[in-house]
Amino acid sequence: MRSSITAFFLFVLPCFFAACGKKPAPAPPPAPVEEVTIGASQTTTGNVLLATKLRPDVTSIEILCVPEVSPETRELILEQHKALQAYLDAPEPDAGDALVTLSESDTKKLNSALEKAKEGFPEPFESTFRIDGKSRLAESRRSLYERYLPMVEAVKVDNLESSLNAIFALMKQDHETLQKLAEDGSSNNAVQAMADMNWLASFSDYMKGFQSVVRRYDSAMRRQVRKINRDAKKGIAGPKTPEEIWEEAQHELAPKIELEIYKTSLGSAYADEDGHFELAGHGLLVARAEMGSYSVFFVNDGPGGELVRFSDVKETETTAE
């Protein structure tokens, strides 16, 4: 049960401190004493990328830095991934004619996430353009701002898909219209269109904040569909579904893995919406993906690379002055 909202996001305009205080062994004279750097700060940056089929179920990703992951913990993670793959590869749940409604808990969480996403609506602003060797100043039209503001304010959990689809459809239409007007280049209408396009680009960046709400909504709806299917099967003998196997594996494995990873963590940080992260510490990177009430772990050099991949990882060390 994948929401069609995801397709419209493709339109959005253009992704432990460690004190190095170890003194060198005494050197026989007349060799000079080695200099020691005190107060070096170690930082790791990079990006974490999620596979398309995993992305809708993940609400956030925490990146942890650890010295190592023991063979026993790696085996637990591998077992977790086997159950996860079976769960992800299973056919999408179908609720038939049943009315799917979100749980009270999911609705409350989504309302909170939605209100946070609505913050920071972009105001009209001025842009400067260099045309024919001269500077041209133009402010984006307030009417454009006033057209989108009530549409965003009207977005609710129970109309999430239709409201966002309407906003993205209008964004696409306005962008195409403004692009044509801007082709003239030097006329007042063209300059105004370029200023409006700048505001629309800013609004597009703002709308990226709704992507996490959509992912949470899709995940919550699928959980409800599966619950409906489970309730319908009660009392009927049969093999366990991939979802049941997954939930049993999570209940057994996730707490054990989490305990082992966190007790040796050198530093951690949550990845941004675009996957970028920055954390204190150097070491082996582990991604903890939150899926519902459980966590799934991915080791940088371990299994699951087809689902979660690290890129552009850089380790830096700066010295405090």
Residue 238 has which token pair?
């049969």
Q: Are residues 108 and 194 in the same domain?
A: yes
Range of the domain at 48: 43-90+241-315
Residue 195 lies in a domain: yes
- The pTM of this model reads 0.53
Q: Are residues 194 and 252 in the same domain?
A: no
CB 65 within 8 A of CB 279: yes
Tell me the CA end-to-end span of the chain in Å, nearest whole number.
55
Residue 19 lies in a domain: no
Q: Identify the CA nearest to 209 among candidates 272, 161, 299.
A: 272
Find the DSSP H helices in 27-102.
Answer: 71-89
Q: Report the pLDDT value the prediction gives residue 5, as an integer from 0 to 100.
A: 53
Q: Are residues 195 and 116 in the same domain?
A: yes
Q: Are residues 177 and 268 in the same domain?
A: no
Q: Are residues 85 and 111 in the same domain?
A: no
Quote the mean pLDDT of the chain.
Answer: 79
Q: Are residues 255 and 160 in the same domain?
A: no
Torsion, CA 108, CA 110, CA 115, CA 118, rounded to 10: -170
- Residues with pLDDT less than 50, the chain: 1-2, 4, 6-39, 95, 97-98
Q: Report the pLDDT value the prediction gives residue 306, as an integer from 0 to 100.
A: 77
Q: Identify the CA nearest to 48 among candidates 278, 315, 296, 253.
A: 278
Number of domains forming the structure of the chain: 2
